[in-house]
Structures are given as C-alpha cells and as structure tokens.
Amino acid sequence: MRWHWKREIFPLSIIALLIILSFYFYPRLPEIIPSHFDLHGKPDKFAPKTNTVILMPALMVGLYPLLTFIPLIDPFWRKIQKKYTLLLLFRDFILLFFLFFYILVLIAAKRGSLPPQALGLGLGFLFILLGNYLPKLPRNFFFGLRSPWTLASEVVWRKTHILGGWLFVAGGVLMVLLSFSKIGLPVIIFTILVVIVIFTTIVYPLLLYKKLQRREETKVPDL
C-alpha cells in the first residue's frame, strides 16, 4: 500500500476549510458560546469560544491519521488491502459530516440555537452515502456494521451489509423528508437511526449466525 497525495486532496481540503473557518469566526464570536445542545437544538451548556474553535479542528486533525492508517493494523489487512480506497471513502464521509456539523455549531454560536432540521438533513445524507457503499465493504475490524457475528462469518458480514445498505439508504431518505415536517428531531432519530442500527448490528446478524450455525455453515475466520 502506498500513500497517494492525489487521493488525499479531498480530506485535507476538508481539514483546511475547517481551520480557515475557525480563524474567520473566532474574532466574530462572543467570548462565551453554546458548547452542547439538546435534541431540540437548544443550548444546555456553555463554554469559552476557545474550547470549541480549537478543540473541533484539533479533533479533526487527529481523526484524519487515525482513520487513514488504522486499517493497516487490521487482522484482515492482507485480505482487505485491495479495497483500502473504499475504507478511505468511509473516512471522507465521516470527515465531511464533521465539517458540516462544525459549520452548524458556528452558526448556532451566532444565533444561540442549533437548527435541528439542518442536523436531520446532514444525518440523512450521511446515511444515504454510507448505505450506498456498505454492501461493498470488506470484512474488517474498524469500518462497517461490526459485531461478534459479522466478524466471525464472511457470510453473515456480506448479507448483513447488503441489508444494512438498503436500510441505511431508506432511513436516510426518510430522515431527509421528515426534516421538513413538524416531527421533532428526537422522534426522527429514535424511530429511524436507533432502530436501523440495533437491527443491523445485533438482531439480524445474530439470527443469521444462529441459522448458519445450525446448518454448520459458519466457519472460524482465517485471520
């Protein structure tokens, strides 16, 4: 595996944009700004602006090398290295969502509240992006719908991610549409995000694994 700078232009541009926004907004923000919001977008904690404007970019800068190089220590690395670019695509989606959320935080620091509709739209599009590529994701320890049952069986991993891909896309589309409705963000998150995640990471892979186990089709993975 070689590091290709052209492949890193997009994620590094995201980080650069986030840092530029930090320098731009810092002198324009009040000294004390909201640091945490409830599910209705109302601030429930406050902190000096330095905490947000410095910690968020620092988190992004730290997240970039972590998500970029952590697949190299994956026990499945020899099997997944040909699809390393796909793993980096998931990294880019995560960084892009962090940038989107940071922009919302900066807007909220000026307005005094976080627009829940915008957050719902961001989560919805993130689910759509992830869902489109979940079925192509190779079995690994750091990305995807990881559970004891998906990691233990290639069959369970593949079928779970095919189903998860469809559910993530459908859930993302529904979340985007409901963001324009009068339904509160807490209800949207609970009924869509939580249900899909629990079903695809616990319920379905467990039932499928037990079914394959009864048929003696489950094998110990070759690490």
Q: What is the pLDDT of residues 131-179, one digit of tens each?
A: 999 999 999 999 999 999 999 999 999 999 999 999 999 989 988 888 8
The reported pLDDT for the residue numbered 146 is 92
Q: Phi/psi at 33 (nearest 5 deg)?
A: -130, 160
Q: Are residues 78 and 147 both part of a single domain?
A: no
Residue 40 belongs to a domain: yes
- What does the pLDDT average to over 91-107? 92
Question: 95-109, 114-128, 181-195: which range is least confident on average?
Answer: 181-195
pLDDT at 218: 54
- Of 52, 76, 105, the one marking the end of a domain is 105
pLDDT value of residue 20: 92
Question: Domain tally for the chain?
Answer: 2
Is the separation of the CB atoms in 179 and 146 below 8 Å? no
Whether residue 58 lies inside any domain: the answer is yes
**Domain limits at 74?**
9-105
Residues 32 and 73 in one domain: yes
Residue 138 and residue 199 in one domain? yes
Long-range contacts of 105-108 (CB under 8 A, 24+ apart): 105/52, 105/56, 106/21, 106/25, 106/29, 108/34, 108/37, 108/41, 108/43
* 137 contact partners, CB below 8 Å, separation of at least 6: 83, 86, 87, 90, 143, 144, 161
pTM of the entire predicted model: 0.86
77 in the same domain as 130: no
Instruction: State whether 101 and 119 are in the same domain.
Output: no
The pLDDT assigned to 207 comes to: 92
Q: Of 64, 79, 105, at which residue does a domain stop?
A: 105
The domain boundary residue, chosen from 65, 85, 105:
105
Quick one: average pLDDT of 117-128?
88
pLDDT category, 181, cuts 50, 70, 90?
confident
Contact partners, residue 176, CB within 8 Å, separation at least 6: 120, 121, 124, 125, 128
**Residues 122 and 101 placed together within one structural domain of the fold:** no
Same domain as 78, residue 129:
no
- Domain membership flag for residue 22: yes
Examine residue 3 and state whether it is found in any structural domain, yes or no: no
